[in-house]
A = this chain, B = another copy of it.
């Protein structure tokens, strides 16, 4: 009995330690202590499952005062959050644009490391249909580790997570920010295919007290996204240089039949945005500034940055930024 009591105390101590660490770290964090206002941080700016050595997988952080919300969370999102000077237990919510794993690969680490850090706050995960099944599956798989915890008695971990699925037009009111979802065209199926759509992909608009930020998610041309982004101060947009990618495919596969190439190009053009289409979207929506993320291929030189700014700028006369990992807006 004495041993059990000692161990329970030990477990409590460890939890207390974790909490005090959280409090101490939060207090010393410039974001938490200085209340510098709101920021959108591009944690990971690579596009697609292949990724880039110089860019982390898609993930973003929205700061609203002391509250942190993740917007997509690919592989490495927790590490990128740390590099941005933020701690995982500060995250109150995660908005998932769509269930492709380049955008969700970091969710297991988020759920698991929150448990290990004894994060007592509830993490709310918002995403399209399928998100509940996704998180429930992960949590089921995490059960053996959750129960074993650090191998001490009375010390099972807790996930403290809830899921809210969103569809076109969904609105979420949070402390200091109103979030609106719209279905974009990333899962657009070919015309006349009579195929039931299996998945939905969302764009989000974040209306903060001081400004509004629209986030396209992965999308092709979409009137719904232009409408959602109407008049926003900042548009965070995906982009894919399809001719450059097609050229690379042709180079790597010189004998690929033309109809195969056509098929691939159809997919890219239906489900992603060309640089000129980013400009068109920004102009149609009447935003002040566009930030490009989800780079395919990589944009690694100043000349490439200027080239894409010029392409986007043909139709849009606001500010154009090609984002890097950890940029703050």
Binding site for B on A (CB under 8 A): 3-4, 6-7, 9-10, 13-14, 16-17, 20-21, 24, 49-53, 56-57, 74-79, 82-83, 85, 87, 99-102, 104-109, 111-113, 115-117, 129-130, 133-145, 147-153, 186-190, 192-195, 197-199, 249, 252-253, 256, 259-261, 263-264, 266-267, 271
Contacts and interface: CB of A to CB of B under 8 A. Distances in A.
B105 A112 contact: yes
A33 to B, nearest CB: 15
Contacts of A190: 3, 6-7
A75 B43 CA distance: 14
Contact of A133 (B21, B130, B144): B144
A139 B113 CA distance: 20
9 contacts: A6-B190, A7-B190, A49-B112, A101-B115, A101-B116, A108-B109, A130-B145, A137-B138, A137-B140
Name, among A52, A112, A115, A192, the residue most crowded by chain B CB atoms within 10 Å (CB to CB): A112
Copies of this polypeptide in the complex: 2
A141 B144 contact: no
Nearest to A11: B263
Closest 5 CB pairs of A and B: A137-B141, A101-B112, A105-B109, A130-B144, A148-B199
A104 B105 CA distance: 12
Contacts of A7: 190, 193, 195
Contacts of A113: 49, 51, 75, 101-102, 105
B148 A142 contact: no
Of A7, A117, A136, A151, chain B has the most CB atoms within 10 Å of the CB of A151
A83 to B, nearest CB: 5
Contact of A252 (B20, B108, B111, B150): B20
A162 B138 CA distance: 17
Nearest to A197: B151
A101 B108 CA distance: 8
Given A82-B52, A108-B108, A152-B267, A137 B133 contact: no
A107 B150 CA distance: 20
Given A16-B260, A49-B116, A10 B266 contact: yes
B134 A144 contact: yes
Contacts of A3: 190, 192-194
Contact of A78 (B6, B57, B252, B260): B57
